[in-house]
Amino acid sequence: MTNMKEQLYAVKQRAQEALDLATTSEELEAVRVRFAGKKGELTALLSQMGKLSPEERPVIGQIANEVRGFIDAGIRAKKAVLEQAELNRRLEKESLDVTLPGKARTVGKQHPLNKVLDEVKDAFISMGFSIASGPEVEYDYYNFEALNIPKDHPARDTQDTFYFSPEMLLRTQTSSVQVRVMEKTQPPIRVISPGRVFRIDEVDATHSPIFHQIEGLVVDKGITMAHLKGSLELICKKLFGPETKTRIRPDFFPFTEPSAEISISCFKCGGEGCKFCKNEGWIEIGGAGMVNPKVLAHCGIDPEVYSGFAFGMGLERMVMGRYGVDDIRMFYENDVRFLNMF
């Protein structure tokens, strides 16, 4: 028994020395296997307890438990020390200098088309208009027929319109929304319908197969051309500045009678004449007119009782004039350098 006691205390001493020398997790694991593993020194020594007498076994068992507890506690303590040392090394290696300037994040900005469109909406809402919307894939009936555009009209030409079938197409104008509104709503009506429209066109600096229109419609009793002119002057001053002048000249559209072309004094020269307005002093922004009585009747509104006016403006042309952009393609190429200008 005396010999086994000495061996157990010797194992304890060697384990302590080995723990003191361990400097990595791998070395610590080797110490555990050497002394407390299934084939370790302590296990091998305890396998000889069968040779002891019944009186000696409890004494040696108690000493063996103390040695095992000592080794387990030493391994846990050493493991904590090694993990903390490893963490300190990582923190030192990955240290962050909080005094360094931060990396600036690029903040997104509103697209110029959306920016001006929001201004247009706010201006019309302040005048009592509401916003109406409709489908971009439209029936021929709403896009042409209900707007008094006959079958042989050039606007129906397949060279100008994206057709899915003889009855379905991509809308060429947001006037189709006005028809839908008049079918479902009895006067008084005061709405605008901004949205995308589609026409077959070659892409260049001033043309695109996809662009935006802003259509307006007012229907009520006693509406005259004077109301149209006054409304256009007011909205143009709101959008382009109080010094803006408007000009209305005769034109022709199947869905309005009489019809007019809307122009405003040049953004650049104020009407004096420059390269931007081709020395005319005026920039055309859209068309307008009194709603054709046939269109009212087609939508179930009595033209003998009610009258109305409608107008349409191109959003891209307005934005190009506002910011001096000379190429419509810049709105759709998503060049960050261009977008950051706004």
Looking at residue 190, what is its pLDDT?
A: 95
Residue type, 49: M
Q: Give the DSSP H/E element, type plus range, for residue 42.
A: helix 41-46
pLDDT digits (tens, 9 = 90+) for 81-100: 888 888 888 877 777 777 88
Average pLDDT, the chain: 84
**For the residues of 236-267, what is the DSSP string, one character each?**
HHHHH-TT--EEEEEEEETTEEEEEEEEEE-T
Looking at residue 295, what is its pLDDT?
A: 92
Helix (H, G, I), strand (E, B) or coil at 202: coil
- Please report which confidence band the pLDDT of residue 336 belongs to, taking 50, 70 and 90 as the band edges: confident
Looking at residue 192, what is its pLDDT?
A: 94
Give the residue-averaged pLDDT of 139-165. Answer: 82
* Nearest to 116, CA basis, from 23, 258, 214, 230: 214
d(CA 121, CA 125): 6
- Please report which confidence band the pLDDT of residue 134 belongs to, taking 50, 70 and 90 as the band edges: very high
Residues 6+ apart with CB under 8 A from 265: 243, 244, 245, 246, 247, 271, 281, 282, 283
* pTM attached to this predicted model: 0.65
Give the residue-averaged pLDDT of 281-296. Answer: 89
Least confident window among 22-36, 46-60, 81-95, 199-213: 46-60
Q: Residue 110's beta-bridge partner residues? A: none
d(CA 168, CA 190): 28
d(CA 308, CA 257): 10
Helix (H, G, I), strand (E, B) or coil at 148: coil
pLDDT digits (tens, 9 = 90+) for 299-314: 999 999 999 999 998 8
d(CA 181, CA 296): 11
Give the residue-averaged pLDDT of 155-160. Answer: 67
* Nearest to 286, CA basis, from 192, 203, 152, 200: 192
Q: Is the pLDDT of residue 277 over 80?
A: no
d(CA 220, CA 307): 6
